[in-house]
């Protein structure tokens, strides 16, 4: 437990409410043909960026705990940094370090998984996102584990690939599948049988989150575990066939099963071991519950529940202990903003729709489920629509704003935080016009919120967790122009960007009581927490990164 924060002797804090607005996926990029944020009609955002103090924040790479500055940020690590006030080593880095040091392979979980398949002469299965996007997983981690499994005498390995096209190029699947098949070919031996067994696009099978669409997980179970679905001779054949028949991008590829002589090559059976190798937790929890849930699991009919040894790459939920077994210990994120504010008696609200509800709660609180205080904290989840985001790009931003305004006007909360998912979730579709529309919908809500903030003599801190909507096409690094494919069309980009994000201080009442620090490009998302508590009239903890105001 932390102690109450010390009151500031410099700035007594705002008299009205303080609200942090996270525009998910809205980065700062040049005004080019790829920038849907700039293309959108956003008079409110344009005005506050021009008329109010703004500092740019790093939201990727080492600034959010990832291995290198070539690694794009994501909503999870972004909200960890926003809520923690300091940078912790994150999933990809933790896993890489554990593999390189050999610590993973000496863990009790790994030892038990391998002993199980060797003793039973059974199969070791790997399920996870199949790319080097380094947001949910990395293919190098998968390769290292398969190689180690062979060295340790596992008789048989099957891989169930969740095709990306979201954190990497939208049609890059074969760029991973073909070299991987060559890699497997170098490992095969009379005493080591290794094959891809099933797969499907990440937005069609297995990787649902926040219980938004359990049918995705059910399709994954049917595909990976039961071996039910359309059969192909190889993953390459599946991808090529679906593209020709359906014209979909990789993340939307339907499920497929690899078969020989009309029999699936890799169903999950009693006595097998299963590793879900994603290191990011949000889209790993539901499939882990399906494997670990026992008879109490009721989300869908699993038909057949094989008795297996199951493990995740990390513990995806530390409070609920999902899964029961994991290979790498997650970062221990301590001294979070929410915990300090509760200790200081500050009433708080966290609100978003389902798609980002976990980010303003679980991830903001350092990967912690539940509240620090039932009396001082209120969490509100607005149920997301289960429709393709490009078909309803405004998502639930108006409903979120309705509830947020009610809470502002209630006078119950000193500090409120809200996430609008539009720029990220719609940006991931690669649909420029839909993303432009999503930004315009968000801008309407900003106008509504800021009017109420002014009326209540409050302050709004407007920021983002990473970029996405700011770069909707693949951009040539030299020319800064969108890349054009062989078909003459600009190539859509569905992944996050490496661009900085804004931090805007919307304040019409207290600006003479503090000074905004000079923006030298050195600040990151972790500087927001200290800034927040200063606006609430407190001194930030010594362990946190510095405030953006003096």
Residue extents of the structural domains in the chain: 18-90+332-535, 92-328
Residue of 3, 75, 122, 344 with catalytic role: 75
pLDDT at 319: 56
Local mean pLDDT, 10-residue blocks, the chain (550 residues): 94 97 97 96 98 98 87 90 94 90 97 98 98 94 98 98 95 98 98 98 94 96 98 98 96 98 98 96 94 94 98 83 91 93 98 96 93 98 95 98 98 98 95 98 98 98 97 85 83 91 98 96 97 98 97
CB 459 within 8 A of CB 507: yes
Cα dist. 154→99, 226, 258, 387, 469 in Å? 18, 22, 21, 42, 44
In 318-373, the DSSP E strands lie at 326-328, 348-353
Looking at domain 18-90+332-535, its CATH superfamily turns out to be Alkaline Phosphatase, subunit A (3.40.720.10)
CB 223 within 8 A of CB 198: yes
Q: Residue 264 forms beta bridges with which residues?
A: 259
Q: 92-328 in CATH: which number?
A: 3.40.1450.10
H-run or E-run covering 92: helix 91-101
- Which residue stretches of 172-266 are H helix? 173-187, 214-220, 235-246
pLDDT at 275: 98
User: In angstroms, how far is the first alpha carbon of the chain from the final one?
Assistant: 27
Q: 170-196 burial by CB neighbour count: b if 16+ within 10 A, else e? A: bbbbeebbeebeeebeebeeeebebbb
Cα dist. 334→183, 218, 367, 540 in Å? 40, 35, 10, 14
| DSSP-assigned letters across all residues of 496-517 | -BS--EEEEEE-SSSGGG--BP
198 is annotated as an active-site residue: no
* Both structure tokens of 42: 């956003």
């Amino acid at each position: 437990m932390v102690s109450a924060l010390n009151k500031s002797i410099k700035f007594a804090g705002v008299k009205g409410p303080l609200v942090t607005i996270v525009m998910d996926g809205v980065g700062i990029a040049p005004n080019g043909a790829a920038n849907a944020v700039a293309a959108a009609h956003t008079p409110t955002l344009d005005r506050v960026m021009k008329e109010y103090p703004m500092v740019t924040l790093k939201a990727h790479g080492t600034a959010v705990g990832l291995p290198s500055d070539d690694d794009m940020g994501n909503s999870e690590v972004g909200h960890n940094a926003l809520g923690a006030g300091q940078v912790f080593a994150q999933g990809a880095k933790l896993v890489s370090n554990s593999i390189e040091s050999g610590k993973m392979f000496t863990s009790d979980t790994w030892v038990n998984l391998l002993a199980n398949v060797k003793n039973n002469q059974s199969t070791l299965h790997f399920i996870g996102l199949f790319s080097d996007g380094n947001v949910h997983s990395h293919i190098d981690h998968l390769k290292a584990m398969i190689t180690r499994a062979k060295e340790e005498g596992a008789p048989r390995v099957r891989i169930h690939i969740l095709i990306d096209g979201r954190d990497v190029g939208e049609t890059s699947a074969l760029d991973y599948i073909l070299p991987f098949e060559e890699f497997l070919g170098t490992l095969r031996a009379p005493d080591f049988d290794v094959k891809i067994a099933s797969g499907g696009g990440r937005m069609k099978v297995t990787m649902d989150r926040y219980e938004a669409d359990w049918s995705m997980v059910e399709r994954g179970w049917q595909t990976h575990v039961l071996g039910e679905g359309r059969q192909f001779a190889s993953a390459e054949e599946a991808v090529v066939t679906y593209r020709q028949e359906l014209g979909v991008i990789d993340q939307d590829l339907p499920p497929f099963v690899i078969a020989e002589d009309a029999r699936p090559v890799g169903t999950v059976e009693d006595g097998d071991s299963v590793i879900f190798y994603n290191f990011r937790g949000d889209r790993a929890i539901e499939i882990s519950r399906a494997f670990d849930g026992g008879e109490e699991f009721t989300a869908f009919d699993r038909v057949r529940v094989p008795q297996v040894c199951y493990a995740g790459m990390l513990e995806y939920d530390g409070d609920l202990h999902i899964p029961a077994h994991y290979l790498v210990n997650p970062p221990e994120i301590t001294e979070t903003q929410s915990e300090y504010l509760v200790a200081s008696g500050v009433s708080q609200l966290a609100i978003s729709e389902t798609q980002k509800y976990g980010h303003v709660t679980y991830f903001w609180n350092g990967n912690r489920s539940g509240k620090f205080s039932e009396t001082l904290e209120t969490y509100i989840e607005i149920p997301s629509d289960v429709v393709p985001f490009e078909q309803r790009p405004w998502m639930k931003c108006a409903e979120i704003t309705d509830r947020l305004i009610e809470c502002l006007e209630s006078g119950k909360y000193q500090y409120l935080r809200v996430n609008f998912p539009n720029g990220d979730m719609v940006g991931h579709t690669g649909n420029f016009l839909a993303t432009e529309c999503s930004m315009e919908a968000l801008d309407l809500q900003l106008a509504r919120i800021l009017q109420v903030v002014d009326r209540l003599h409050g302050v709004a801190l407007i920021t983002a967790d990473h970029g996405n909507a700011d770069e909707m096409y693949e951009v040539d690094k030299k020319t800064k122009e969108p890349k054009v494919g062989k078909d003459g069309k600009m190539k859509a980009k569905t992944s996050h960007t490496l661009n900085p994000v804004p931090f805007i201080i919307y304040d019409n009442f207290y600006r003479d009581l503090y000074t905004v620090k000079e923006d030298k490009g050195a600040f990151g998302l972790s500087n927001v927490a200290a800034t927040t508590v200063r606006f609430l009239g407190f001194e930030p903890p010594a362990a946190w990164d510095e405030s953006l105001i003096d």
